[in-house]
A and B are shown apart, each in its own frame.
Chain A
Amino acid sequence: MDKKTFKKVTFIIWCALAAAIILTAIFAPVVTGGVDPTSGTLTDALKAPGQGHLFGTDKLGRDIFTRVIYGARTSLTAAFSVVILVFCVGTLLGILAGYFGGIVDTIIMRIADMMIAFPGLVLAIAVAGIMGASIKNAVIAISLVTWTKYARLARSLVLKIRNRDYVAAAIVTGSKTPYMLVRYMLPNVLPTMIITAATDIGGMMLELAGLSFLGFGAQPPTPEWGLMLNEGRSFMQAAPWLMIYPGLAIFIVVVVFNLLGDSLRDILDPRDE
């Protein structure tokens, strides 16, 4: 197996695993056999794994297995929302800044600089704190601090080709600005942007779980891994399954998406060729 096919095979494997995770999330009701993740019997609280509950139960008698599976829905939706949002906004603003330069560039980039001056998660906590705690606001908060990375990256990629002769030639021959942006600039930035987005999925998931853990993200009774970790925190010694399974879920999903991003880079990155 040469290097190129090996890369392709690993990519396919990670793709399959990621697809499996996404499918599990979509078909959560089927996987869990129709159990409601937000209902439970109070008297069945803190049951150890086994005894009809694969992963045990939490303090309100809810089935942990069901909550972990449904948690994939919350986490995946939120993480993809963040990535898609910052990808679109960041790329658009970055291309505009790089292509037009001058005052447009200054305004966009100074705003980006301001956002970068804050520590990301701390700013996200402040934003989520002001807007009120909910998973939607957590997504907005993290997007607000992450878009700058995409904008700066897109801008630098545009600047690299902005003054090339073929760009100048296209403009001279009468290409309109929208056409220039879509057909010349966008294709140049897209591969790198996609790789960045793919490798960011795992990181975003961790940040969202972090916010939820701190109480600024998902609110009870939403099944969300970060929130479940927080709920299980005080039972760490007596009922460790409350933390082990959501923790394991975060670990597995983040690893899969990170490695998927890496292998995507191996395939797409033009520098290797």
Chain B
Amino acid sequence: MRQKKRILKKTLVLGLAATFTAGVMTGCGSSSSSGTDASGAADSASETTTSDDGGKTLTFGCQNYGAGGIDPAVETNQAWNCMRYGIGQCLFQFDDTMQVQPWLCDSYEVSDDHKTWTFHIREGVKFSDGCDMTAQSVADSFKRLFTDGESGSSAPEKYLEKEAAITADDAAGTVTIVTQTAYPDLTKNLAYPVMAIVDVADTQDYAHGTIGTGPYVAKEYTEEVGYTLTANENYWDGEVPYDSVELLYMGDASAKAMALKSGQVDLVENITTVSDLEELEADENYTVTIANGVRCGFAYINQGGILGNKDLREAVIQAVDEKTMCETTVGGLYTYGFSVLPSNLAYNYDKLSNPFEYNQEEAKAKLDAAGIVDSDGDGIRELDGENISLKFITYENRALSTFAEGTQQLLAEIGIGVEVNNMDSESEWNEMVNGNYDLCSSNWTTVGTGDPTEYLDNWYGKSTANYCGYENEEYDKLYEQLLVELDDAKRTELITQMQQVLVDDAAVLVHGYYNSSMISSKAVANANIHTADYYWLTTEITPAN
């Protein structure tokens, strides 16, 4: 009898232990689904073994941003990594015209005052560890951003205010967000990578092992080398084409090109050396896809310095042949345009007029008329008795320093001296914030959240992000209207007017719009780059056969 009891006890303990271990292994917290989870885990184990012998592997060479982290809450770069590597996904995603499409959310409702948003969470979506993505887990993921992301550069409050009340209704499968300020379109903000949905309950290592709902799972990370990603066995949206992805960090664009040619990698993103790109385009063994991006390459014009002089500013813009620089000097890496917003976006680029088309003779005449002439015969014009020497700060990224040097050469032709100062991006940023420049190379995402409001803030007179000291009453008035306008058509009209103000005021030296590229070998099919730079490893990319 006693023995029987003991055996019973033992079995009980064992049973409990087993359940406990299973609980830890799966860790979903919901007891009902634990059975299916266990089988899911077993499935994935058997799958991995088969993929070891003869599984499909993709090798992908890319730049290392944000020190390789994939935690959306900590740093914007890391949030981008998380999405680019195919690990995290958002409630919404951007299509190639930067319109918002449903992703993890399949429908939503918004109140008339644009303050109450109800999102219906797509059913059947699982995190890569096999746990269900519930309304509660979505709410937890958003809430975590404000606790874990407070000190980081991700700044989640830029996309969703801290004061917002987030409630989940698991039965109805909805998340309701009630905000205090009205958002013109919150879905755009929720499509930004920082707002990716991660498994808060089970993620142990956010830096390199964030659990998301994407097609790939971060399995192994080696500092400065890269990731081994494996297919998400629980992926909700069809089959994952590769069993594993070797993601390798490559800093140098030429190195990426060489790795591709030597067969070390099958796929690379953004080769920024013109010559390499042209060579690969000409070679039929490689596929190069280039997409009109949403980035604008431009130089801030510091109004607090010598370029506060409008005649000089206009002459500078008129004397720089940005079209040739875009098409020849940087070999089509940029698409030419004169406004701060890319011409491929729906902000009426066609309706804008450019009074300062490239024309060096006119620029010279303008300077002569304004009394900015070279009186001492040294080839450099003077303003207030001093030789003009513009300080152009730049850094080597996306061919920006090439633009700076080209500008220097072209301005020398009309007698304006330029001193190019090529520094690292950190120093350049500090110099810019301190206003210690005349021209400052920049490459900005214009519609990161599908809307240019935040970007246009850079020229708003009362903004803290206005580093060029630009002030224009008309612009400020339009911007203030834009902040409260909820109607899409009216917003577009305001944005169009604001662009024209900047053009007429010669406020920005616009280089052009940066094109992203994705280059693949013949072993890979459908490797497209998207307009929104957030989606690199998608399920679209498949083995060629």
Residues of A within 8 A of B (CB): 38-40, 42-43, 45-46, 59-60, 62, 133, 215, 219-221, 233-239
Contacts and interface: CB of A to CB of B under 8 A. Distances in A.
12 contacts: A42-B329, A42-B406, A43-B324, A43-B328, A62-B409, A219-B421, A220-B405, A234-B275, A235-B273, A236-B254, A237-B275, A238-B278
A220 B422 contact: yes
- Most A CB contacts (10 A, CB to CB) among B278, B329, B409, B413 go to B409
B543 to A, nearest CB: 28
Nearest to B325: A42
Given A42-B321, A42-B406, A234 B253 contact: yes
B421 A60 contact: no
Contacts of A220: 405, 408, 420, 422
A217 B189 CA distance: 45
- Most B CB contacts (10 A, CB to CB) among A39, A46, A60, A235 go to A60
B412 interface: yes
Contacts of A39: 409, 412-413
A40 B329 CA distance: 12
A54 to B, nearest CB: 20
B88 to A, nearest CB: 33
Contact of A59 (B276, B329, B421): B329
A238 B276 contact: yes
B324 A42 contact: yes
Contacts of A219: 419-422
Interface string B256-291: 010000000000000001111011000000000000
A267 to B, nearest CB: 44
Contact of A238 (B253, B279, B402): B279
Q: List the 6 closest A-B pairs by CB distance, nearest first.
A: A238-B275, A234-B273, A42-B324, A235-B275, A220-B405, A220-B420
Contacts of B413: 39
Interface string B319-333: 001001100110000
Interface residues of B, number: 26
Contacts of A133: 421-422
Contacts of B329: 42, 45, 59-60
Contacts of B276: 234, 237-238
Contacts, number: 62
A60 B420 contact: no
Given A42-B329, A220-B422, A237 B405 contact: no
Contacts of A62: 409
B363 to A, nearest CB: 16
A46 B276 CA distance: 13
- Most A CB contacts (10 A, CB to CB) among B275, B324, B410, B420 go to B275
Given A60-B409, A237-B254, 12 more contacts: A38-B412, A42-B321, A42-B409, A60-B329, A133-B422, A233-B254, A234-B254, A234-B276, A235-B273, A236-B254, A238-B276, A239-B275
Contacts of A237: 254, 257, 275-276, 279
B275 A45 contact: no
A45 B321 CA distance: 14
B390 to A, nearest CB: 14
A205 B328 CA distance: 34
A60 B330 CA distance: 10
Contacts of B273: 234-235
Nearest to A46: B275
Nearest to A235: B275
Contacts of A42: 321, 324-325, 328-329, 406, 409-410
Contacts of A234: 253-254, 273, 275-276
Nearest to B324: A42
A238 B253 CA distance: 14
B404 to A, nearest CB: 8
B160 to A, nearest CB: 41
A40 B409 contact: yes
A74 to B, nearest CB: 16
Contacts of A215: 422
